[in-house]
Amino acid sequence: MTNLPPPLDPVQALERMMLIRAYEETLIDLHGRGRAAGTCTAVGQEAPAVGVVSALTADDLILTNHRSAGHLLARGADPGRMLAEVMGKRDGYCGGKSGSLHISARDLGVVLTSTIVGGELALATGVGLSRSMLGKPGIVACFFGDGAACQGRFQESLNLAAVWTLPILYVCENNQWQAFVHRKETMMADGIAGQAAALGVESAAVDGNDPLAVFDAARSAVDAIRRTGKPFLLEAMTYRLRGHFEPDDQSYVDGAELAHWRERDPILRLRSRLERDGGLTAEGTAAIEGRVRAAMEAAAAFADASPYPGTDALTSDVYA
What is d(CA 194, CA 196) in angstroms, rounded to the nearest whole number?
5
Question: Which domains occur in the chain, in start order?
Answer: 10-300 (3.40.50.970)
Q: How far apart are CA 153 and CA 147, in angstroms?
A: 11
What's the rounded Cα separation, in Å, for the pair 196 and 171?
A: 12
The answer to whether 147 touches 179, Cβ cutoff 8 Å, is: yes
The candidate with the shortest Cα–Cα distance to 235, out of 153, 158, 126, is 158
pTM of the predicted protein model:
0.94
- Please state, as a whole number, how many other Cβ atoms lie within 10 Å of the Cβ of residue 295: 18
Name the amino acid, one letter, at 136: K
**pLDDT in single tens digits along all 320 residues of the chain:** 567 788 999 999 999 999 999 999 999 998 888 888 888 899 999 999 999 999 999 999 999 999 999 999 999 999 999 999 999 999 999 999 888 888 889 999 999 888 888 889 999 999 999 999 999 999 999 999 998 888 889 999 999 999 999 999 999 999 988 888 888 888 878 889 999 999 999 999 999 999 999 999 999 999 999 999 999 999 999 999 999 888 888 999 999 999 999 999 999 999 999 999 999 999 999 999 999 999 999 999 999 999 999 998 888 887 76
